[in-house]
């Protein structure tokens, strides 16, 4: 690799300009304040840019192993962080291509005409390393997407099969563990279809296995309950923990036309008596 302390210092002196160009992308235009749709603020975006440039420019002063270790650290802690993954990949790659062009332009400004060979080597090094980084980011993103898709399928599988028919009229849906709301919408659609296929009259949703419910998941459950009611399926809830009840109240989520029971046993005692009268 080409090492040049003077080129490194020159580019580092341009760091403010590089960071501002990275941050002031079109994704901020027209937004209220400086909040992105993926909840990354402009200040966080600036910190990400500063971290990237600081690591990338080490190629002109460090040995390759140290440089590569720094880039990998950036990928692990910033480049492939949760917020970065949620952002638009195409836009992120455009950022890197734009940065590559900025570096090349700055290298042109730095070298005098008599150092044409050194200039071309420096530009080649920048382009090769940037292309390698883009390929690595793309590969990592694809791996993460595959893992997320598998996780989504697992959740859909977990939620689509546990509808247990308790009697001719009532079925039980136990929700267990930590379920991410981002993957649960498709699963709840499957539950609606399953209730329709089985001619379920009453679905008892047991929440005793849930220890945490975030805003998105609470709204998803509310939508599921509303959809079931609209399709003619009566709904009851059992085993709602105090902290989950507090979350629902705090969010203003109301389960109207829904009976609440302390546990499944009490729910079934009541529902069995209710539907026993209907069948008589």
Q: In this predicted model, what pLDDT tens digit does every residue of 162-189 receive, in sequence order?
A: 788 888 889 999 887 666 655 577 778 8
CA geometry: angle 17, 21, 24, nearest 5 deg = 130
Same domain for 113 and 172, yes or no, is no
Same domain for 140 and 256, yes or no, is no
Residue 114, domain member (yes or no) = yes
Residue 156, domain member (yes or no) = no
pLDDT of residue 60: 94
Same domain for 168 and 135, yes or no, is no
Same domain for 90 and 224, yes or no, is no
Same domain for 14 and 137, yes or no, is yes
**The domain boundary residue, chosen from 92, 127, 150:** 150
pLDDT of residue 220: 86
**Spans of the chain, pLDDT less than 50:** 26-39, 82, 85-86, 160
Same domain for 53 and 165, yes or no, is no
pLDDT of residue 27: 44
Residue 197, domain member (yes or no) = yes
Q: How many residues are listed for the chain in this entry?
A: 280
The answer to whether the CB of 151 falls within 8 A of the CB of 186 is no
pLDDT of residue 201: 93
Mean pLDDT of the chain: 81
Residues spanned by the domain of 72: 5-150
Same domain for 130 and 171, yes or no, is no
Residue 56, domain member (yes or no) = yes
pLDDT of residue 125: 95
Same domain for 211 and 135, yes or no, is no
Same domain for 40 and 75, yes or no, is yes
**Considering its fold, how many domains does the chain have in total?**
2
pLDDT of residue 227: 93
**Domain CATH code at residue 169:** 3.30.750.24
* 16, 130, 186, 243 from 107: Cα distances, Å: 16, 15, 51, 58
Same domain for 192 and 83, yes or no, is no
Q: What residues form DSSP beta bridges with 261?
A: 238
Residue 155, domain member (yes or no) = no
């Amino acid at each position: 690799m080409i090492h040049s302390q003077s080129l490194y210092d020159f580019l580092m002196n341009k760091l403010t300009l590089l960071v501002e160009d990275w941050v002031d992308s079109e994704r901020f235009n027209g937004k209220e304040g400086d909040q992105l749709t993926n909840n990354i603020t402009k200040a966080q975006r600036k910190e990400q840019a500063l971290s990237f440039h600081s690591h990338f420019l080490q190629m002109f002063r460090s040995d390759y192993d140290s440089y590569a270790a720094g880039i990998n650290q950036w990928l692990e802690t910033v480049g492939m962080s949760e917020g970065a993954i949620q952002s638009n990949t195409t836009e992120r790659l455009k950022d890197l291509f734009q940065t590559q062009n900025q570096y090349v332009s700055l290298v042109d400004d730095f070298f005098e005409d008599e150092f044409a060979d050194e200039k071309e080597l420096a530009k080649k090094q920048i382009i090769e390393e940037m292309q390698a980084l883009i390929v690595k980011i793309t590969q990592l993103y694809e791996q993460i997407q595959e893992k997320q898709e598998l996780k989504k399928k697992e959740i859909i599988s977990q939620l689509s099969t546990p509808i247990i028919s308790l009697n001719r009229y009532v079925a039980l849906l136990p929700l267990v563990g930590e379920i991410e709301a981002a993957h649960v919408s498709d699963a709840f659609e499957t539950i609606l279809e399953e209730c329709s296929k089985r001619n379920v009259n009453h679905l008892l949703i047991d929440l005793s296995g849930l220890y945490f419910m975030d805003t998105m998941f609470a709204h998803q459950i509310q939508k599921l309950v509303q959809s079931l009611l609209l399709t003619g399926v009566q709904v009851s809830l059992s085993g709602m923990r105090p902290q989950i009840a507090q979350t629902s109240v705090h969010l203003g989520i109301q389960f109207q036309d829904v009976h609440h029971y302390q546990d499944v046993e009490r729910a079934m005692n009541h529902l069995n008596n209710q539907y026993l009268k209907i069948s008589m």
